[in-house]
Structure 1
Amino acid sequence: MCDTLVALPNQTASGNLIFGKNSDREPLEAQAVVHVPRTSHSNSNLQCTFRSIPQVEQTYEVILSKPFQMWGAEMGANEWGVVIGNEAVFTNVKINKKELGLMGMDLLRLALERTKTAQEALRLIIQLLETYGQNACGGYQNRNFYYHNSFLIADPEKAYILETAGKSWTFKKVIALGSISNGLSIEEDYEEVSFKEEPKTIQRFFSGKKPNFKNYFSDLIYTKAGRPEIRKACTLNFISTSENSGVSDFMGSLRQHNLEDFHPKKATTGSVCMHATGFTNPSDTTGSMVAEIRKGKPSTLWLTGTPHPCISLYVPFYFGCNLNHPLLNPSAKPDQSLWWKAKAFQKKILLDYSKKQPELRAKWDEIQKDWIKKDQELIHGNATKQELAEFSLSCLKTYENLLGG
């Protein structure tokens, strides 16, 4: 389960596009923050998560938040200001588990590494989808978790929602605010659509003059269980009621729970900041991102690198800086990384959440506010890459210290 949202420049206080995503995965699947510089390649093939495809001569600089063991990424951006998040969607198209394709996370990273605009990224994902398909296991310990994907794709000026089912796809442009969750949402309001001859578990037929993509392909049982409409409405309502949304509004939106008297033990799949409770609600938010994509100035990627944004801080990262740090590279088991340090720290908060979380949030909101203010000062003051890198590292180290060193 995940949630992704965007506000176009004419909807934000800064006049910059703002993008956010929560990555919901299995509770023990650590998430890494990875920086890959622009690279020239001599190899003819690229090994993605499960299969190889032809490599290109050059890939662009990217910052990614990804499950530690996968090649692909849950979310990220590139040096040109293209930013993408993907969602699992559940369809009635049969998945052939013997013909491994590209994961949605592979498609996301490939688009970031190889394109300069949102439209180019959109077209590349469609091309790769039609060529290789998306039959790939998306689980970590759950090896039976297969799904299809939707994407929110943006650049400094525009954004698109792309939804898929097998090798079929459709997309539409975001007008002002956009949000996607774990269900198909595009009905007859698409800009383009491609229906392939898909092997389907439930046969549905077109009715009316224009085919309805959502109704034709949705798996209603899994989609309903995931409560995507509740979470989508929650994120959209939050940012739409915040006049001229900013980075802090997006962070607040991604920290939301769907119950007034929320407690992690009561959590359901309707919570934007997700807390796993068992079989019917198996996912945690294992990482979160808010990106301010600027035109003509450096963009800022705010990444938690830690689970549960309701008890996390967002650390700023910038392009052109060496961002690879041992703290950001977790392994399968508890280690000295930021992610696992946070996991241990948060366990104590979760034991008395009703009391400890509000106290922590009040203190950390002040720290977050100061970081956002400093980021704006550095950007508007035309700070050097070295100054940006030093600020990013200082925030990272402060966060580590707050988690217990």
Structure 2
Amino acid sequence: MCDTMVALPPVTLSGSVMFAKNSDRERNEGQPFAAFPRATHAAGSRLRCTYIDIPQVAETNATLLSRPFWCWGAEIGANEHGVVIGNEAMVATIAPGVEKKLIGMDLVRLGLERAATAAEAIEVITSLLEAHGQGGPCGHLHEHFYDNGFIIADRREAFVLETIGTFWAVERVSGFRALSNAFSIGRGAIRRAGGGLLEHARAAGFCTSLEDLDFAQNYLSLERDAISQGRARCSRATEILGRHAPRLTPAHLMAALRDHGAAAEADPRWHPAHLQGRSICMHAGEGLRRSQSTASLVSELRGDGRVLHWVTASAAPCLSIFKPVLPGLVVPAEAARAGDSYDAASLWWRHEMLHRAAERGDYAAVIADFAPQRDALEADSRARIEAVLAAPAAEQQSVMDACWAEAAALAARVTASLPAMPDADAAHAGSWRELDRRAGLPLVCEAA
């Protein structure tokens, strides 16, 4: 389960385009965040994606990618031209493909590597979709097959792209828009479509033209949406963004990614074990709630071409610190390490010691102590980065490194100060215990 948002002028305070996404994956599915350089490729060369080979292009863009450790593609990312893309798992009334082809995360990375604008990324993704199709397993420990939706943006415009097999439909965004794990493009909103969608919809009696096709109503699996609650989460994200428009800031998008729903807002003693269904800041638990928010990104794409990204490089944005990344600078090596077992040199896994202690113990006490320090540090980081946006790269790198170091120090202090805590909820804690054991995680605060 994932949630993606975008806001365009005039609803943003700075007049920038703003983008945000939580990537929701399985609990031990570490997600490295790393930079990949621009590259040239020999004529006729092939590219190995997660499951299949496709023709490589002559030149690929520099990218910043947050991706599950096991796959070639990415859940969220950006490129040197200021294009940002996030994908969403979608389940239609038509069964998803099980044959190994391109997967949605491959398409995110391919769009970023090959496009200089959001509109070009639409062309890249849809042409590859029609040429190679999509399908194959997309889970870590659990088998998972799905189609994909995307929000794609640059500093001028943004689009929603929703797909089923080779079918695709595009909506151009105005104002602000959210997308979760449910088809959302309604009647009259389709700007373009292809891959055989219109032909299929006409044959099924859904429409006579694109103008009267309600893509969401006709293709959304209501059975699956009852589990994923994609429409409910999309509605919640839209409500939160609407509270602050037309003065949306990156801090508002960070807060939206940390949202646990209306019930949590009203309950200072809220615990992830109390979560009913799904939330934007997703916490895994017993039963079918296997996924959690494993990485988060907020991007500000300014009209003058400057770009500023904020990443957690860790799970649970409520318990994470957004850290600045400027394109072209060096991302800390510890952010690029994450597998499915504990690694003390991995930022993602070190953070799990804090995250999982709070999940199993007194979450309310942990967040009450941590959140004010987190918010103050993020505000300070925003001011410091803003002050060096026009400075030489070396000065920018120094400030960026300092922000990351201070975030790591705060997380380490909070983790080290955690008291021994009994399990707040036996069933919820039990749903984590076996996965903690599999990962070899040295928990720091278990009660004797």
Task: Give the TM-score of the pair, scaled to structure 2.
Answer: 0.85
Give the ranges of 4+ consecutive aligned residues of structure 1 lying more than 4 Å apart after TM superposition.
Answer: none
Q: What is aligned with 1:345?
A: 354
Out of 228, 241, 244, the residue aligned to residue 242 of structure 1 is: 244
The equivalent of 2:437 in structure 1 is: none
Match of 1:65 in 2: 66
Distance in 1, Cα, partners of 2:208 & 2:217: 12
2:309 is the alignment partner of 1:301? yes
Bigger shift: residues 83-92 or 352-361: 352-361
Aligned runs of 1:166-185 on 2, under 5 Å? 166-185=165-184
Determine which of 299, 306, 310 is the counterpart of 1:291. Answer: 299
Question: 1:46-80, CA deviations, whole angstroms, 9 ceiling, x for partnerless residues?
Answer: 11111111111111111111111211000111111
Matches of 2:7 and 2:84, distance apart in 1: 12
C-alpha deviation, 1:273, in angstroms: 0.2
Tell me what 2:408 maps to.
Answer: 400
State the partner residue of 2:2: 2
C-alpha deviations, 1:301-344, integer Å up to 9, x for none? Answer: 10100000011100111111122513431122100211000001
> What is aligned with 2:224?
222
Q: Check the 8 A contact 2:299/2:308 in 1, yes or no.
A: yes
Cα shift at 1:402: 2.2
5 Å-filtered alignment, 1:6-405, equals 6-42=6-42, 44-97=45-98, 99-142=99-142, 144-188=143-187, 189-194=189-194, 196=196, 205-206=205-206, 210-243=212-245, 244-258=247-261, 259-260=263-264, 261=267, 262-323=270-331, 325-336=333-344, 337-350=346-359, 351-379=361-389, 382-404=390-412
Counterparts of 1:320 and 1:62 in 2: how far apart (Å)?
9
Question: In 2, are the aligned partners of 1:60 and 1:113 still within 8 Å (CA)?
Answer: yes
8 Å contact from structure 1 (residues 204, 216) kept in 2: no
Task: Identify the range of structure 1 (307-316 vs 233-242) with the bigger mean alpha-carbon deviation.
Answer: 233-242
Q: Which moved more, 1:109-118 or 1:263-272?
A: 263-272
Find the residue that maps to 2:67 and give its secondary structure.
strand
The Cα offsets for residues 174-225 of structure 1, whole Å up to 9 and x where unpaired, read as 0110110000011222112236379x9xx96415762322222221111221
* Matches of 1:48 and 1:204, distance apart in 2: 34
What secondary structure is seen at the aligned counterpart in 1 of 2:254? Answer: helix
Asked whether the 8 Å contact 1:268–1:274 carries over to 2, the reply is no
Q: Secondary structure at the match of 1:279?
A: coil
Residue deviations 1:19-59, cap 9 Å, x none?
Answer: 00000000110111010111112370111111111111111
Give the letter aligned to residue 60 of structure 2: T
Equivalents in 2 of 1:195, 1:404: separation in Å?
Answer: 50
Distance 2:353 2:64 in 1: 26
Q: Which SS does the other structure have where 2:32 is aligned?
A: strand
- The one-letter code matched in structure 2 to 1:355 is A
Paired residues of 1:59 and 1:113 also in contact (CA < 8 A): yes
Amino acid at match of 2:284: A
Distance in 2, matches of 1:5 and 1:61, equals 23
Over the residues paired in the alignment, what is the CA RMSD in angstroms? 1.9
**Distance in 2 between the 1:317 and 1:376 partners?**
12
SS in 1 for 2:93: coil
Once residues 184 and 278 of structure 1 are traced to their aligned partners in structure 2, the CA distance between those partners, rounded to angstroms, is 26
What residue ranges of structure 1 are gaps of 5+ in the alignment?
A: none
Counterpart CA distance in 2 for 1:117 and 1:195 is: 22
State the Cα distance separating 1:359 from its structure 2 match: 1.9
SS across alignment from 1:238: helix
Give the match's secondary structure for 1:171.
strand
Gaps of 5+ in 2: 414-448
Residue deviations 1:77-130 (CA, integer Å, cap 9, x gap): 111111111000111223342x31111010010010111000000111110111
Return 210-219 or 122-131, whichever deviates more. Answer: 210-219
Task: Tell me if the contact between 2:96 and 2:164 (Cα under 8 Å) persists in the aligned partners.
Answer: no
Give the match's secondary structure for 1:271.
coil
**1:106 is paired with a residue of what secondary structure?**
helix
Please give the secondary structure, in 2, of the residue aligned with 1:86. strand
Name the % identity.
33
SS at match of 1:239: helix
Task: Output the amino acid matched with 2:354.
Answer: F
Residues 256-310 of structure 1, C-alpha deviations (whole Å, 9 max, x = no match): 0112333111224431000011222111000000001123343111010000001
- The 8 Å contact of residues 171 and 191 in structure 2, kept in 1 or not, is answered as yes
Q: Distance in 1 between matches of 2:97 and 2:305?
A: 45
Aligned-pair CA distance for 1:376? 1.7
Count of residues paired in the alignment? 398
